[in-house]
Structure formats: C-alpha cells, structure tokens
C-alpha cells in the first residue's frame, strides 16, 4: 500500500510552481545561449534576464537597476553584510541586528565582528518581536547599518515594519532586511518601508532552488562580490543562470498577483491546524499568535526531542521540521526559541508545520488525525508520569538505571514479563525523548530509532 504523503515543510522549500516550470523550459532546451553573447540567440537570453529583473523589481517596489541576481538568500545576505562592512570599515564600526536572525546573517556578522566591528544583538519578547524603542536607543553615531529580518523562519513572527526603516533613515543608518521567508507571502514595498538592501530566495515562493536576488537602493554603494567576466553590471561575475532567473521571476510574479487569495486560504488552514494541535496536552504555540506568516505553525512539546517527533510524523507520511532546515541534524536547542525565553529542555521539543497553497483541508485533518491519535492505556500513562518525575528530579542517569534494572524482570512469569516490557518501553521512550538521535549511526540502529520515535507518539498524547 502506498504511503499517503502530506508535505508540511514549505518553510524549508516549496514545490516548483507550474508557472515557473513553464517559463523555465525554453531556456533549458532551445534557448540555451550565454546571455553575454552578441549573436541573436544570446541577445534573446539577455532580454529574458532583463525582463525577469523588471518583474522582480516591480514585485517589491524597486527599480530594475537595483536588482542583482544571486544563487540564493545566503549569498545575498553574505554579499550585503560584507559589502557594507567593507564600505564603512574606516568610518563606522558598529552594527545592530537581532538575536533571532537566520544563521546566514548571524554567522556572517560573527565573522565581521572578529575583524574589529562591534555588533549589538537586540533581544526579543516571548513572541519573537523586537522593541522599536530599544532599537532607537541602540543607534549610535558610529552605527554603520542595521540588519533585521522581515519574518522569522522558525516561528513565523513578522518583524518588518515601516518604522524600522524610517527611524534608521532619520539617523542616517543603512537598513538591510533578510526577507527570504517573507517575500511572496506578505506585501513588501522597499520604498514605502525605507529599505536600503533586501535579500530574497526563489525556492521560498515556489521558484527554483539555487536562485535569489539582492535589492540595493541606488544610493547605497555595493562592492563587487565575485570578480571575473563582469556580469551583473560588474558586481557579480559568472554566467547567469537564465532558466533559474526566469523561473524565479515567474514564481514571484504569480505569488504577488495571487497573494491576497492564497494568504486568506493558507491562513485558514494554519489556524485550523493550530487550533487542533493546541488541544493536545503539553503543547504550546511559539511565535506571535496573530502577526505571523500565513503558512507557519510552530510549537514546542514538553519532554520530547523535536527530531523524534519529525521521525514519528515521517513514519506516517507527514513531512515536518524541528526548526530551520538549514540546521537540520543539529542537536542544539534553537537559538530563536532560547531568545524568546524558553528553557533549553523545552526548546529542544520544537516542531514546525508550514503550509502553502498546495495544501488542502484534508492534509490538515490528516496531520491532526495522527497527532491526536489513540491514547495509551492508563497504566502506561501512569508509568510515563513517574519516569518524567524521575528525570526531572534525578536526571538521565537515574532513568538509564531503571531501564536496565527493569529488563531483568523479563525472565519472570508471562504477565510480569509483559508488564516489565511495557514499563521498559515507556522508560526507554521517555528517556530517549531528550537524547540526540545522532547516536544511532548504522542503518540497523536507525530502524531502532524510528521504532522508538513511533512509540513517542504515545508520549505526545499523554
């Protein structure tokens, strides 16, 4: 029997839209010429790139000459921040950002900090929002630029507001925003919002992977990123990915034109999902309850490792994430959740379900059916409550001792053996709920981990 797949990880990447695929096909087959070539076929490719540039610019309220194509959001962020730091290194050496930025921003600023810059990382409230007053107080005479993300990729909270850009402009400070998760999903006008630089990525709004763009306001000098043949007006050398650029523009144009309709539909699905998941005990919503991206529903669950929940859902054909896909496999608690004030143990139990216009109400009900599945017997619930208390009081070592002690009872009579196995499984499930699953290296061990993760469904429902 074929497993029913429900894709609920659209914040990680989206399926390529039909409009994007249709637009790309000619440039993958017949019209494959280098856009720098002077003959007619090359000129056709050049026209396609420039038309795409106009489309992207129109979608965010920019001018075509302010758009530079990149390989994605990470490159755009790196290019923007490093270029600004290089530009101001002899004048201003102070930067302001937030504590919940994507690692493409945080790690780049960390490297810049090593070169002698001072970086102020603004804290956030429990919903992941910054204080505008705190931002204004942080601006100094030597502040070079501010980088605040438009919306958070893990919890979905929207941070971008016209006030950030206007306050920055009043003080003569450049404003960059990582809008990778927001472009194509919420309205953004770089002129109205006083944005000087903006990063975006194609695959977040159903464009092709490996495509992105950086908006740079005309009066914001941008230093070259890569040297070579002088493409992108001498700022980013390398033969343009014509098919990818055309696909990005087509997907963005489609997303912007249908934004209101898609947003209303996806918000309804998201709200139904949140309503259903919050009926499960020991589950908490993360991010702002209202000011959040249309498709992202994020939660933390007590006593369960996020990776375990992802594995359990995968067993039932549901694609989800324990946070940012870019840091998947990391066993550290999310820096975003820790910044909102959650304790580390609870932050490890994060799960993100992100929807798009491709999802249906049947998908949402399927997810809820799995998450709200059968409840375990009362005896198992009682055992789990006991071991939870043991873990909280004595830690993991005590739990390990009980697990291996109970195994000895397996040689006793049949009823006791059955009870001991149930008790052992309960202990093992709860014990492993906060253990890194990376300890299971081999294929055989992965099967064991998958089986344990499946049983963790019981824990989530108790």
Residues found in the chain: 462
Residue in this structure with the two tokens 């054909």, named with its chain if needed: 317
**Options 137, 326, 392, 447, the catalytic residue:** 326
Would residue 326 show up in a list of annotated catalytic residues for this protein?
yes
- Is residue 343 exposed (0-12), middle (13-18) or buried (19+ Cβ within 10 Å)? exposed
Give the separation between CA 324 and CA 265, rounded to whole angstroms: 24
Say if CB 270 and CB 296 are below 8 A apart: yes
Please state, in angstroms and as integers, the Cα–Cα distance from residue 188 to each residue in 35, 48, 62, 158, following that order.
Answer: 30, 24, 10, 12
Active site residues: 326
């Amino acid at each position: 029997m074929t497993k029913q797949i429900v894709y609920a990880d659209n914040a990680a990447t989206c399926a390529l839209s039909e409009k994007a695929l249709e637009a790309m096909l000619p440039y993958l087959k017949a019209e494959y010429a280098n856009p720098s070539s002077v003959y007619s076929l090359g000129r056709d490719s050049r026209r396609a790139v420039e038309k795409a540039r106009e489309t992207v610019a129109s979608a965010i309220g920019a001018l075509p000459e302010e758009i530079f194509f990149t390989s994605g959001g990470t490159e755009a962020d790196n290019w923007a921040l490093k270029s600004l730091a290089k530009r101001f290194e002899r004048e201003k050496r102070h930067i302001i950002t937030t504590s919940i930025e994507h690692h493409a921003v945080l790690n780049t600023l960390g490297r810049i900090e090593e070169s002698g810059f001072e970086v102020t990382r603004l804290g956030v409230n429990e919903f992941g929002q910054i204080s505008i007053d705190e931002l204004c107080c942080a601006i100094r005479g030597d502040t070079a630029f501010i980088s605040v993300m438009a919306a958070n990729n893990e919890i979905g909270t929207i941070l971008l507001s016209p006030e950030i850009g206007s306050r920055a402009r009043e003080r003569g400070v450049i404003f960059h925003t990582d809008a990778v998760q927001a472009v194509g999903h919420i309205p953004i006008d770089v002129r109205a919002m006083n944005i000087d630089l903006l990063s975006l990525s194609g695959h977040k709004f159903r464009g092709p992977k490996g495509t992105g763009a950086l908006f740079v306001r005309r009066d914001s000098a941008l230093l070259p990123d890569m040297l070579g043949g002088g493409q992108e007006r001498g700022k980013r050398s390398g033969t343009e990915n014509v098919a990818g650029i055309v696909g990005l523009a087509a997907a963005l144009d489609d997303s912007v034109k249908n934004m209101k309709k898609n947003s209303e539909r996806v918000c309804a699905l998201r709200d139904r999902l949140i309503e259903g998941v919050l009926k499960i005990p020991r589950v908490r919503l993360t991010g702002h309850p209202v000011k959040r991206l249309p498709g992202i529903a994020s939660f933390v669950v007590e006593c369960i490792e996020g990776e375990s929940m992802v594995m359990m859902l995968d067993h039932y054909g549901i694609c989800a994430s324990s946070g940012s896909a870019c840091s998947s496999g990391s066993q550290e608690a999310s820096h975003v959740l820790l910044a909102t004030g959650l304790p580390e143990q609870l932050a490890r139990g994060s799960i993100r379900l992100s929807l798009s216009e491709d999802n249906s109400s049947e998908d949402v009900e399927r997810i809820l059916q799995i998450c709200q599945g059968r409840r375990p017997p009362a005896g198992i619930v009682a055992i789990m409550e006991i071991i939870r208390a043991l873990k909280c009081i004595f830690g993991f070592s005590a739990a390990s001792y009980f697990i291996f002690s109970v195994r000895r009872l397996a040689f006793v009579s049949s009823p006791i053996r059955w009870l001991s196995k149930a008790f052992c499984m309960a202990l093992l499930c709860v014990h492993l709920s906060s253990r890194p699953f990376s300890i299971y290296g081999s294929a055989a061990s992965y099967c064991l981990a998958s089986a344990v993760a499946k049983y963790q469904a019981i824990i989530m429902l108790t």
